[in-house]
Structure 1
Amino acid sequence: MISAIAIDDEPIALSIVEKHAAKIPYLKLEAVFTNALEGLNYLNANQVDLIFLDINMPDISGLEFVKSLTNKPHIIFTTAYSEYAVESYELEAADYLLKPFEFGRFLKAVNKLAEQTEKSSQNYLFLKSGYEFIRIEKSDLRYIKGDGNYVGFHTSERKVLCRMKMDEAESLVSSDDFIKVHRSYVVNKSMILKVEKHQLHLEEGTIPISQTYYDNLVTNL
């Protein structure tokens, strides 16, 4: 079951999300908000898997809203403006729905997220590196490092380099066992030996921590 909320300053747009969500048995829309700040207060007290989020809103834009989150759920933007698509994917959005969207397009976005969530629940990964598919046990994975269009999966014995975006790599290991500590790093929490203000220590060395993720890291260790 995917738990979700929707935030949009237009009540009609929210009613469409509610109507579509009601048709999907594995999606539970917990609450809807016309005020983004009320939605933020809800997230401070409740955890959800997904936010359906408008971009053009009066108090805070959807893009700035996402940037303000420390423990970020999956995001599906719902907007009438196509010009924000590039920035939305830079923020690692799961999808970008252009209003008005039909149920089929809505369902496709939710199904894509459901497939990613199912993959992340497995105890292992099969990673395509060059012409090989390499199996890695998640328990052996130390950290993930993004570098442009490539991601390195680091274990104690090897590094597997894959051509993919960082958000795709994150979706493969999205669980309580892994945590994002920097724009380019996701770390296996069980491998952390020590945390300092700007870096953490693993057996292999240090990993940088950005200020954006520090508070969430120390809260969720």
Structure 2
Amino acid sequence: MSFTAIAIDDEPQALDVIGLHAAKVPFLDLKATFTDAFEAIAWLQTNRVDLIFLDIKMPDISGVDVVKCLPRTPMVIFTTAYSDYAVEGFDLDAIDYLLKPFSLARFLKACTKALDMHTVRSGSNVPDSIFVKTGYEDEKVVLDELLYVEADGNYLSLVLPTRKLLTRQTMAELLQQLPPERFVRVHRSYCVAVNKITKMARQEITVAGYVIPIGASYEEAVAAIRMRLIL
């Protein structure tokens, strides 16, 4: 499955970066880019896209106001150099918030989240459970019950409210089974359920009483989650 998008930013260089990144994402079709938000609004009156990459701080009209005035609101990924706009951006149910300058890896992560949402909106099935091999058996895990996953040598420990399951596979293999909008890797050895987070500190996350460290390589992903949960 793929989806269509446009990008709106008053800085041509920012649009160039989005264009270069978008060309490397196989499931993304970037239809047009605009430095003038009003031209984009007019274009959207007669054209439909699934996603808008949208700068927030622009002359004459903000990206937030652009979203509010659209008759049909596509998915939105905000792109800006100002972190103070995060709360207002997520108040509009933005898919993600990219803080400039952002890497291709971070851009791809945001696009993957948009693809997942597009898949849901299109009516495709999103799993509510998975099966993991425990010894010689395959055991069902209801995703609403999964708190977090911890790597333990060659095994993974799946932590649920009343039990732990041990399975022999890598974190990368398990993450392919988990919906990325619901689970995020916060450390080389840990993946957590976003809706089970009860506290977030600078270097650790608390999930149902369990304190989990944040790895330096995953601080950007955690920052995005923090913005989603700030309200």
Letter of the aligned partner of 2:34 in structure 1? F
| Residue 116 of structure 1, CA deviation | 2.1
2:196 paired residue number: none
2:75 paired residue number: 74
Q: How does 1:134-213 map to 2 (within 5 A)?
A: none
2:92 paired residue number: 91
1:119 paired residue number: 120
1:51 paired residue number: 52
Contact 1:37 1:59 in 2 (8 A): no
Q: Distance in 2 between matches of 1:122 and 1:62?
A: 28
Q: Distance in 1 between matches of 2:63 and 2:3?
A: 21
Letter of the aligned partner of 1:33 in structure 2? F
| Residue 41 of structure 1, CA deviation | 0.5
Identify if the C-alpha distance between structure 1 residues 126 and 68 changes in structure 2 by more than 3 Å, giving closer, same or farther. Answer: same
1:18 paired residue number: 19
Letter of the aligned partner of 2:49 in structure 1? V
Give secondary structure in 2 for the equivalent of 1:117.
Answer: helix
Give secondary structure in 1 for the equivalent of 2:4.
Answer: strand
The gaps in structure 2 that reach 5 residues or longer are 130-141, 145-180, 182-231
Which of structures 1 and 2 has the bigger CA Rg? 2
Identify if the C-alpha distance between structure 1 residues 54 and 126 changes in structure 2 by more than 3 Å, giving closer, same or farther. Answer: same
- How many positions carry a matched residue from both structures? 133
Aligned-CA RMSD value: 2.2
Deviation string 1:137-183 (CA, Å, 9 cap, x unpaired) is: xxxxxxxxxxxxxxxxxxxxxxxxxxxxxxx9xxxxxxxxxxxxxxx
Q: If the length of structure 1 is used for normalisation, what is the TM-score? A: 0.56
Letter of the aligned partner of 2:12 in structure 1? P
Q: Distance in 2 between matches of 1:90 and 1:32?
A: 24
Q: Distance in 2 between matches of 1:95 and 1:27?
A: 16
Give secondary structure in 2 for the equivalent of 1:107.
Answer: helix
Contact 2:53 2:79 in 1 (8 A): yes
Q: Distance in 2 between matches of 1:120 and 1:49?
A: 10
| Residue 69 of structure 1, CA deviation | 1.2
> Do structure 1's residue 102 and structure 2's residue 106 form an aligned pair?
no
| Residue 124 of structure 1, CA deviation | 6.3
Task: Give the percent of matched residue pairs that are identical in Structure 1 and Structure 2.
Answer: 53
Identify if the C-alpha distance between structure 1 residues 124 and 24 changes in structure 2 by more than 3 Å, giving closer, same or farther. Answer: closer
Q: Distance in 1 between matches of 2:11 and 2:81?
A: 12
1:209 paired residue number: none
Q: If the length of structure 2 is used for normalisation, what is the TM-score? A: 0.53
| Residue 31 of structure 1, CA deviation | 0.3
Q: Distance in 2 between matches of 1:99 and 1:133?
A: 33
1:65 paired residue number: 66
Contact 1:14 1:32 in 2 (8 A): yes
2:219 paired residue number: none
Deviation string 1:62-109 (CA, Å, 9 cap, x unpaired) is: 011111112100000000000010111111101000000000000000
